[in-house]
Amino acid sequence: MKGVLAAVVLIAAFAVACDRGAGGGPGITVVIAEYSKDHTRGFWQALAEQYTKQGGPKVDLRIIDWNSIDQQVTTMIQNNQPPDVLNLNSFSSYARDGLLYPAEDVLSPNTREDFLEAFARGGQYQGKLYGLPILSSARAFFYNRDLFAKAGLEAPPKTWNDFVQHAKKLQALGGGVIGYAMPLGPEEAQAEWAIWMWNGGGDWKQADAWAINSDANVRTLTFLADLANRQRVTQVNPGKTNRTDGAFQLFKDGKVGMVIGFSPLAKQLDAEGKVKYGVAEMPTTLGKPTTLGVEDYLMAFKKKDNRDAVKKFLDLYYQPDNITKWITAEGFLPVTKSGLERMRSNAALAPYLDALPNARLAPTTDPAWDRVKLDVQQNIGAAVQPGGNPKGVLDQLQRNAVAAAGAR
């Protein structure tokens, strides 16, 4: 009897203790997306220790992989246990729902002024900075030098006509060589699409209204569908190929002539040393090529009595030594003026740093984008499958985007 009673009391005490631990208390919860298995946890663990050593409260650090981070964060908020600091690729829905501190509440002026102009703009919701840039990347055009030499190609293509000719010659090499690897599967289709869209003269929006099915965009998507089904210079089923384990994997295996990549891909290629590759600007129909810049964010959640702790943590991350150390380790690009200065000396990053000023960002400042992005990811691939209907797909995306702009 006594033993049982003791056990029950113990269980109850344990439950209460667990509740304390999870329910905020004096610590802060920091959720970070896993950019790489090698570097992400190591860096943030060290930063958390440094923070606590400098007198900050304990940090409950959670590193979550990209595939499940949306789900886990939604669940946390749904259960009324939002993190204190969150790292994600979107922010404006959170700002709209009134969950976030504006930057002036949680960042010292020096840090705020250090942000590169474009990225500070990309973190604004209704004129206020909520999405603090954590790092950036820029896409670039990758080509396989060995395959180019074999096909008698001297330089990467500058125009779309060049591009088609190059792709045909590469594909004609035979032996399983693929001219261009096009990942329009659900993983990251919006990025692949945006780069082609911009270089075809289109955009997500015209003025302030969605313009996904503009004539220019229909032309561009038809061009991509033709690459797959008429010219047949892509891998099989490009509308069902993801980026990481699809297009990049094929390029790393030396099977692909051209692909749109970014600096972490270059890092992996260098480490493997199997493929001799070059990096160039995108082929374009415009006078000047443009590329996609990607900005990820840190957000500070409004919770009772956490402002000072959060401010201290953010200021620690944005110390030039810390932020540059991490961005360099992960192979990404800077978001601060001081970081840009420091990383200039790295020759391997030169093509991306040069591309950065011309890079365009996705419309992340519009909360509707969070739905439009998912819609594009899930549906645009259908347009480049055999029998696909580019205009029909874009019309549907446009209708949904307009509806999303009205919904919450």
Partner 1 sequence: MRAEAPAPARAVKGRRWEALLWLGPSLALIAGVVFYPAVALVHASLGRYSITGVYQGSVGADNYVRLLQQPALSTVLTNTVVWVGAVVAVTVVVSLALAQLLNQPFPGRALVRWALIVPWAASLIMTSKLFVWIYDYYFGALNRLLTSAGVLARPVDWLGDDATVMGAMIAVGIFVSLPFTTYVVLAGLASIPGEVYEAARVDGASRWATYRRLTLPLLKPALLVAVVLNVIYVFNSFPIVWTLNDRNPGFAHDTMVTFMYKIAFKSALRDVGLAAALGVVNVLLILVAVLAYLRTVRWDDGEAAASGRA
Return residues touching partner 1 (CB under 8 A): 1, 4-5, 7-8, 11, 70-71, 73-78, 93-94, 97, 99, 176, 185-187, 189, 235-237, 239-242, 245-246, 250, 253, 255, 367, 370-372, 374-375, 377-382, 400, 404, 408
* Cβ-based nearer residue to partner 1, 251 or 326: 251
Give the shortest CB-173-to-partner 1 separation in angstroms.
16
Give the shortest CB-8-to-partner 1 separation in angstroms.
6
* Cβ-based nearer residue to partner 1, 92 or 222: 92
Residue 180 CA to residue 30 CA, distance in Å, equals 40
Give the shortest CB-177-to-partner 1 separation in angstroms.
11
Give me the helices (H) in 153-248, please.
160-171, 189-199, 215-229
* Cβ-based nearer residue to partner 1, 276 or 371: 371
278: β partners: 143
Q: Strands (DSSP E) along 212-323, which ranges?
A: 256-262, 277-280, 291-300
Which residues 6+ apart lie within 8 Å of 1 measured at CB? none
Give the shortest CB-37-to-partner 1 separation in angstroms.
15
Q: Which amino acid, residue 212?
A: I
Give the shortest CB-139-to-partner 1 separation in angstroms.
20
359: β partners: 291
Host H or E run for residue 87: strand 85-88
* Cβ-based nearer residue to partner 1, 92 or 284: 92
Give the shortest CB-132-to-partner 1 separation in angstroms.
17
* Cβ-based nearer residue to partner 1, 76 or 316: 76
Give the shortest CB-136-to-partner 1 separation in angstroms.
23
* Cβ-based nearer residue to partner 1, 19 or 341: 19
Which residues 6+ apart lie within 8 Å of 46 measured at CB? none
Cα–Cα distances in Å, from 76 out to 29, 57, 84, 93? 11, 21, 11, 15
* Cβ-based nearer residue to partner 1, 5 or 207: 5
**What single string gives the DSSP state of each residue in 106-162?**
HS-HHHHHHB-HHHHHTTEETTEE-SEEEEEEEEEEEEEHHHHHHTT--S---BHHH
The CA angle 145-151-155, to the nearest 5 degrees, is 50
128: β partners: 125
